[in-house]
Amino acid sequence: MASVTPSFLSALGIVSALGQGVDETSRTLFGNRPADMIAHDDFLIDDTTILGTVTGPILSLPENVRDYDTRNNRLLWTAVCQIRSEIDDMITTFGPDRVAIILGTSTSGIEEGTNDYQVMLNTNAWPDDFRYSHQEIGSPAEFLRAALGTSGPAYVISTACSSSGKAFSAARRLMDAGMCDAVIVGGVDSLCRLTVRGFNALNSVSDGVCNPLSKNRDGINIGEGCAVFTLRRDAGDIALMGVGETSDAHHPNAPHPDGIGAIAAMKSALNQADLTPDQICYINMHGTATELNDSMESTAISQIFGASVAVSSTKPLTGHTLGAAAAIEAAILWLSLHHADDGAPLARHHWDGEIDPDLAPLNVVTQDGQRSDPARQPENQIAMMSNSFAFGGSNVSVILGKRFGQGQTAS
């Protein structure tokens, strides 16, 4: 394969139902802090639903960018400010024109647009603070560019649940093409009635907390959150090793039952990372707890990896954060690798333990405190994969890795 220039995810800012920042998020994933999966009665008509909710304080936007004021952009700003010193260092080191911003989203400010439209229907006038641009998909990148004062490329990818995974691939392509030297990359989505009611109309929303891989599963929970990384070549010990992208275009909202696109995405990521399947020690599954996704994904993983690689779904802890999901689940890999001193801690699979016998067999992480298998960490290197499979057959698999004792390299 063609060599891939090493690139490193040197810092992480995160806010979600897992908590705020790397420490609180780690305590939820690997400790005993409960995730903020909360019942809401204001998103569905005459019904409640459990949503992955950001409950902690989120930051107001700086005064000079208040025209971009949406919950989505406030979530983004809260995560960005956690790593502001690293971002400022990139801007100082490379120059504002050499730092790009690539984000994924699917909601942007749609909830604010919905609220403003309701006011207009009731009063026949738009509210004074109405901005059509709030609900434009590109708003997060435009806002962040203005807030940080960068002048490099800045745009948003919106391919449903794969959006922020594809942002990693786009970010590295920009670096490889010489269009930038560093990238702020990630994804953000906020709760909105449009998406919650849309999934409910598809009979895809769980009555409780979602239950991936269980014979009793009944659908998803929607969530909100943001994960942003600094991607650069001159610093960091957690490498972006490979990103595999495919589009099987099987159906508008159902995956190919044989996992053709998912298999191709995982193989592409492995090839780009120059890894074999037995060198992946953990897979964070897309794991939505819908019958079609769980069946397809277990089949696809089993075909490539067999039943030995450790797997789990973390959506019972975050909800499905849609355009932010791939970035948040890449952040879960990052946090595992960040704590990988004696094997990496693995996020436990939260469910009722009643495996669906019709699924292909998998090695599900069921124990608190479980760590990665040393046999799958050859040559002082540890590597993990995260999958995101979206509506329309848009698929992405991301591999992150860490090398010990011999200097860092991306592949």
Q: What does the pLDDT look like over 61-73, one tens digit per residue? A: 999 999 999 999 9
Residue 339 burial (CB count, 10 A)? 16
As a whole number of angstroms, the distance between CA 63 and CA 68 comes to: 10
Parse the chain into domains and list their residue ranges.
Answer: 8-403
**What local confidence, expressed as pLDDT, does residue 12 receive?**
98
Where in 70-152 does DSSP place strands (E)? 99-104
Where does residue 42 rank: exposed (0-12), middle (13-18), buried (19+ CB within 10 A)? exposed
Q: How many CB atoms lie within 10 A of CB 247?
A: 16
Residue 29, helix vs strand vs coil: helix
**Can you list the residues of the chain whose pLDDT is less than 50?**
1-3, 406-411
Helices and strands (H and E) in the chain: how many: 11, 14
Catalytic residue among 256, 320, 349, 350: 320
Half-sphere exposure of 389 (CA within 13 A, CB side): 35
Fold of 8-403: Peroxisomal Thiolase; Chain A, domain 1 (3.40.47)
3-state secondary structure of 335: helix
Classify residue 33 as exposed, middle or buried by CB count within 10 Å of its CB (0-12, 13-18, 19+): middle
**Residues linked to residue 385 through DSSP beta bridges, in sequence order:** 283, 399
pLDDT digit string, tens, across residues 274-316: 999 999 999 999 999 999 999 999 999 999 999 999 999 999 9
pLDDT at 4: 63
Tell me how far the alpha carbon of residue 24 is from its chain's centroid: 17
What would the two tokens of residue 404 be?
A: 């010990």
User: Which one of the listed residues 134, 161, 210, 226 is annotated catalytic?
Assistant: 161
Q: What pLDDT score was predicted for residue 253? A: 67
Known active-site residue 250: no
Q: Which residues have CB under 8 Å from 390's CB, separation 6+?
A: 159, 160, 161, 162, 163, 396
320 catalytic? Reply is: yes
Catalytic residue among 134, 256, 286, 338: 286
Q: Looking at residue 102, what is its pLDDT?
A: 98
Q: Which residues contact 57 (CB under 8 A, 6 or more apart)?
A: none
Beta strands in 349-391 (DSSP E): 363-364, 381-390
